[in-house]
Amino acid sequence: METLSVSFLKRSVALLCGFPFFISMLFVFSFSGWAEENTLIPTVTVSDATTADFQLSLNEKATFRVIPTTGVTVLIKATQSVANVRLALYGTENKTSKPLLTLDIPAAYRQPEYLLFDANDCVTCYVEIDTSASSPTQGRSDILFSAIGTGLDAHRNFYNAIQLASLTWSVAENQLAEMEYKEALHDVRSHYEKAENIATSLEDHSLIIFSAYMQSIVSHYLGEYDNQADLLKRILHQTSIPQSYLIKINMDLASYYIYEKGEFDTAVAYLSIVFGHLNSGHYPLLYAEAKELEASIEIEKGSYLNAVAAFEETSKIFLEQGDVSNAIKSMTSLGWLFYHTGDFNNAMQQYVLAKKLATQVSDNYAITNLHIKLSGVYRQLGNIEQANHHVTQALTLSGRFKHAYLDAWANVEKAKLLQATGQYIYSKDTFDIAKRRFFKLNASKGASEIDFFVGLLNMQLGEHQQAKERIESYLFNTDGIATDYEHAIAASNLAHALTLLGSKDEAMKYQQNALNVLMQTQDIRSIGLAQIQMATLHASMGNVKTAETYFNKGTSKLIQTRSTLTQLDSTYAYANEVAHLDPVLALQIGRDISEQINAIFSEIKRTDLRRGYFSTYQKVVSLLVRVDNSLSAEQSLLLAEAARSRTIGYGLYRDNNTNNDIQREQKKLNQKQQVKLIELSTQIETQQRKQTIREIRVLSEALYQLESDNYVAPQSTAKFSAKSLAQLQQSLTEHDVVLFIDTAEVESRLWFIDQQQIVSFKSEHERFFSERVGAVLNVISQKLPLRKMRKEVAELRNTLFPSNAEYLFKGKTNLIVIPDGALTRLPFSLLSASSPAQNGWSVSYQHSLQNIVDSRKDNFATAVDEGSILVVANPLMKTMPKGQNSPLTYGFQSSSLPYTAKEASYINAFSAQPITLLNKGNASKQALVELDLSTFNIVHMATHGLANNHVPELGGLVLSNASSADNLLFASEIRRLRLKAQLVVLSGCETTQGHLIEGEGMLGLTRAFIEAGAHSVIGSLWQVQDDATAMLMKEFYRYLLQHELPISEALEKAKVAVKNHKRKNGTHPWRSPYYWAGFVLHGNAA
């Protein structure tokens, strides 16, 4: 009777992205029985009933002799997870001749390899094992021999099935895509099922056990965990099960009940069997694996500190035994434990050590996982750029090596990073990608986790009802799957959502239950956050003392960890809630948050990664202004201005673009973005559009990273001070008044500044303004005359300009608005007809008080006092033939603008200065950028403006495609133009519109031109009509160039002219504000 190897699944716990996952290393064999002759070469005579076990220390080379008897085929089946092994078969002891057969097995290779030979190959055979090419780590490699009788066809059929399974799996691992991989695994399992049927007919229990166990492994890889458990239990009914099998089967079943069922008592029972077998022999590696499973139960319960010692012990054992792969997993698990107890520095240390080992053995799976881990640590430490670097590496590697599960978790980490930096729409989309990945892998728990994460995102967006529904969905779908600890974290956040929805009694029940569970764990960060949320709940119920007790407990926990945006937002929520009960405490908390944000903010160079902090910072400043009654109007204004002026200095982009290599790379990325935008404009199918949008965002990120890598700090970092404010007031004329607006969730604040005084008023909350502005814009879109929208306009006017503020406007004709929130979309000129002082205004907009000072002192660019005028008008569009779609040939398509040619003629008629005209085919991107734009005093762009809601930074101007397909001038490219113009006019559609980012304002073309150096920019808030626009531009340039009025006054008079325009038939076609109110002035009004 032939014998066969006993094989078992070597299964270790690796904590991937915060969740346990099984990593399987296949086929480690253990046998005994080899003889040794006087020659000192181990010798095995292989008959019909021979097995032998040979173990070799790593970094050695050894030879052993095999003598096959007649009619017997020798099967050498070798698998290991530690060393790079080379087997060579020689026919003589002298190995200078060419080997008869060779076999190379790389380290950590998952499949067994076979070397088959018989007496026809060599009477006395010599097999050389060489592990000298391995890493210096010491350990052992196991090589197994089995004899197969050549006359038994059934056994040959069995081994053929095994080899087919091994070959199919190997191909699937290395070459096939995700769906093909699953199909291949089903083929693998069918081969093992055939092998088991053959073994059953032979009544060979060892073969039955082997083939059934291999089916359980395949079921695991397919995500069919219940089927895997059924197969393992069926094996236990066999007789004469080798001890090594008993150990591994019981370990696998313990794993199943820990991770898939959450039945810890059942898992403990199986582990008791495992330790019973381990006590009867010396199995250091198996002991370490069993200890990790035992510790994993503590982890699932949230008792992290109890598990730390176990993983410290097991990582040491694995290293001593040369099992690098499992040592990496132990270190990774240890890092995860430190991470979840708030010890981020130790977590990073373990991850870095593990990654170093993984790199040495080229374990790409582990390297990818550790990049994900390191991203999470850096995110928690507030080092956003390093976090982004590591998650980008993880996404690259998971795509390259087709690690589908890790790709899902890398997308989760990416989404969390986007969430932490305020990029909420992008974050939602990335969570959706991760969820689809989990569904494909049948990882239902991972998919359900996404509901929880998106629920947290909903809360940050103020979508409290959606947050409640998402978290409830997670709790329902993971009932019996997730642990009590995981549910406690979710329940704590559900309680917070219920608090914000006003369901305080229900919230209290969830929060108390969650805390009861969390207090039994060592996750200090989750405990701290839950205690602060409990404090917020008690504060909302008026329980001040209890709230303060919980808050102090929570902060004492969180002080041991580095501040994250989530923690800062939770702390702010408490301060905001307690403000009306204890304003002194709220003030202290607000100041602490402000200091922490300033410390984090100074470390971040990338624009997109700062945004989440801008938003929180502005909310905190609004809180400080509200609760600090000791502040004068001037002091509170300076505080609000500090938040507003924290955005990028105007000199930044120009400073960054002096390097020609950088400019070329930026141009290349912009061209790729344009191609993708064109593809998007022609796509209809939803999934196709989503994929293109994702590709556009990747290119946008590459541009941001290029900006970060070549960051040059703004030239001026001076803080806007009381002295600066005094200088600003001195620069105002007697007719100027500045309106500074800070919208906030509880109450907003308005400041009126003129030459003599600064007056502050409290106003409505931000939701009020959002609703009222929305109502005004809605009636404007219906093209109704102004008299039919008086109600909507009056509600806004009376709120913004209360009756007790009328005296502030006496004699004022020039209004400078620094808007916030939804008010950035409001044309304030609509309010001037019935202003408190009953006089019309010239209106201009600024981003901050500092911008007003800079524009008047010519700090960021010296304007051309007398220079020529550049007009870009009516770009020629080469039309793509029907049925073709070639963005590289035809560029971005748009409709013609014949009325813009009239605009050019009007400017020429009114101007005494020379005009440079780029018209029709000459109105191209190439012709524009080749000009010395710094010589122009006025730049007039009469072309389509493009707003991009998916990636706001990709807004741009559409130019002629007659000579080049590269015809879209992106906002990022506009910022890099070197302008000194007093005025840029954008007469196309939606040229001032952009994406409203809390704390940073609108990202649009107007802001891009100002950052490029323009002093003033006129653009439109909504889509405009060509003929009305042409008339408005005619009147504007008449007043500006012929009458030499200030820019803001010329614009307001032009609006009045369009509004009152009378046709020959006596009609007034453009009475509605839709035709003229949308054009607004940003920057210097002079």
Tens of pLDDT along 506-517?
999 999 999 998
Sheet with strand 956-958: strands edge to edge: 945-946, 956-958, 968-970
702 and 727 assigned to the same domain: no
| In the predicted structure, residue 302 carries a pLDDT above the cut 80 | no
Question: Domain for residue 91, yes or no?
Answer: yes
**807 Cβ neighbours under 8 A, 6+ residues apart:** none
Question: What's the whole-number mean pLDDT along residues 210-236?
Answer: 90
Quote the mean pLDDT of the chain: 78
Which residue pairs, CB below 8 angstroms and at least 24 apart, start in 189-195?
A: 189/165, 189/215, 189/218, 189/219, 189/222, 191/161, 191/162, 191/164, 191/165, 192/161, 192/162, 192/165, 192/218, 194/161, 195/158, 195/161, 195/162, 195/165
Q: Is the dihedral of CA 459, 465, 466, 467 positive or negative?
A: positive
Q: Is the pLDDT at 426 greater than 50, yes or no?
A: yes
Q: Is residue 792 part of a domain?
A: yes
Are 770 and 727 in the same domain? yes
Same domain, 681 and 730: no
Q: What is the pLDDT of residues 635-675, one digit of tens each?
A: 999 999 988 876 544 343 344 445 667 777 777 777 777 77
Domain boundary among the residues 134, 151, 168 is at: 151
Q: Using pLDDT thresholds of 50, 70 and 90, give the confidence band for residue 39.
A: very low
Six-digit token string for 279 = 């006590």
What pLDDT shows up at residue 1026? Answer: 82
The predicted structure's pLDDT at residue 860? 41
Residue 396 lies in a domain: no
Classify 878 as helix, strand or coil: coil
What pLDDT score was predicted for residue 191?
80
- Give the model's confidence band at 33: pLDDT under 50 very low, under 70 low, under 90 confident, else very high: very low
Output the domain CATH number for residue 828: 3.30.420
Mean pLDDT of 28-57: 47
Query: Per residue in 437-475, pLDDT tens?
Result: 888 877 777 888 898 999 988 887 778 999 999 999 999
Residue 577 within any structural domain of the chain: no
C-alpha span between 736 and 782 (Å, rounded): 33
Instruction: State the pLDDT at residue 269.
Output: 94
Are 877 and 757 contained in the same domain? Answer: no
Q: What angle do CA 239, 245, 250 make, to 5 degrees?
A: 100
DSSP run (H or E) holding 1064 = none
Binned at pLDDT 50, 70 and 90, residue 25 comes out as very low
| 81 and 143 part of one domain | yes
Is residue 1041 very low, low, confident or very high in pLDDT (cuts 50, 70, 90)? very high
**Do 91 and 106 lie in a common domain?**
yes
Per-residue pLDDT band at 626 (split at 50, 70, 90): very high
Least confident interval from 99-103, 287-291, 630-634, 649-653: 649-653
Whole-number pLDDT of residue 985: 94
The span from the CA of 184 to the CA of 998, in Å, is 50
Query: 613, 623, 579: which is closest to 749 by C-alpha?
Result: 623
| pLDDT per residue as tens digits for the range 97-109 | 778 777 666 554 4
Higher pLDDT: 976 or 996? It is 976
**How does residue 561 score in pLDDT terms, banded at 50, 70 and 90?**
low
Lowest-pLDDT range, 189-203, 343-357, 484-498, 707-721? 707-721
**Enclosing domain of residue 1061:** 861-1083
**Is the same domain home to 48 and 76?**
yes
Which pLDDT belongs to residue 1081?
Answer: 93
Characterize the bridge pairing of strands 1016-1020 and 983-986: parallel
Q: Tell me the average pLDDT across 1052-1081.
A: 90
Q: Which is nearest to 648 in space by CA: 675, 618, 681, 608?
A: 608
CA torsion 272→277→278→280, rounded to 10°? 130
Eight-class DSSP state of 924: B
Look at 131-145, 309-323, 383-397 and tell me which has the smallest mean pLDDT. Answer: 131-145
* 880 and 898, same domain (yes or no): yes
- SS3 of residue 142 by DSSP: strand
Total domains, the chain: 4
pLDDT tens, residue by residue, 886-934: 544 445 556 666 677 888 888 989 988 778 999 888 888 888 988 999 9
312 vs 692, residue with greater confidence: 312
pLDDT of 144 reads: 45
Residue 8: pLDDT over 50: no
Range in 7-16, 247-256, 525-534, 873-882 the model is least confident about: 7-16
Tell whether 1053 and 931 lie within a shared domain: yes
DSSP string, 595-619: HHHHHHHTT---HHHHHHHHHHHHH
Q: Is the per-residue pLDDT at 45 higher than 80?
A: no
The residue from 824, 854, 884 where one domain ends is: 854
Residue 380 forms part of a structural domain: no
Give the H/E segment covering residue 753.
strand 748-753
The pLDDT tens digits for 678-697 are 777 666 777 777 777 777 77
Alpha carbon distance 376, 1024 (integer Å): 46
Chain centroid offset of residue 667 CA: 25
Q: Of 93, 127, 151, which residue is a domain's last? A: 151
Averaged pLDDT, 339-351: 84
Question: Looking at the structure, do residues 101 and 142 belong to the same domain, yes or no?
Answer: yes
Q: How would residue 587 be classed by pLDDT, with cut points 50, 70 and 90? A: very high
952 confidence band (pLDDT: 50, 70, 90): low
> Is 435 among the domain residues?
no
Query: Has this prediction a pTM greater than 0.75?
Result: no
Which tokens is 1012 given?
């490029």
Lowest-confidence range among 739-748, 1004-1013, 1070-1079? Answer: 1004-1013
pLDDT higher than 80, residue 973: yes
Q: Decide if pLDDT at 1077 tops 60.
A: yes
Same domain flag for 905 and 1031:
yes
Average pLDDT over residues 989-1012: 64
Q: What is the pLDDT of residue 563?
A: 64
pLDDT of residue 726: 93
Residue 985: strand pairing partners: 940, 1018
Strand duo 945-946 + 956-958: pairing:
antiparallel
Sign of the dihedral through C-alpha 227, 232, 234, 235: positive
Report the CATH number at residue 1023: 3.40.50.1460
Name the residue with higher pLDDT: 862 or 949.
949
Torsions phi, psi of 843, nearest 5? -115, 135
- Give the pLDDT band of residue 581 (cuts 50, 70, 90): confident
Whether 741 is covered by a domain: the verdict is yes
Q: Is the pLDDT of residue 592 over 80?
A: yes
What is the per-residue pLDDT for 1025? 79
- Please compute the mean of the pLDDT values over residues 228-235 and round it to a whole number: 94
Instruction: Give the residue-averaged pLDDT of 21-46.
Output: 39
Provide the Cα torsion 819, 820, 825, 826; round to 10°.
-50
What pLDDT, on a 0 to 100 scale, did the predictor assign at position 145?
43
| 760 lies in the same domain as 820 | yes
pLDDT on residue 498: 93
Q: Which of 18-27, 536-545, 577-586, 605-614 has the lowest mean pLDDT?
A: 18-27
Residue 321 lies in a domain: no
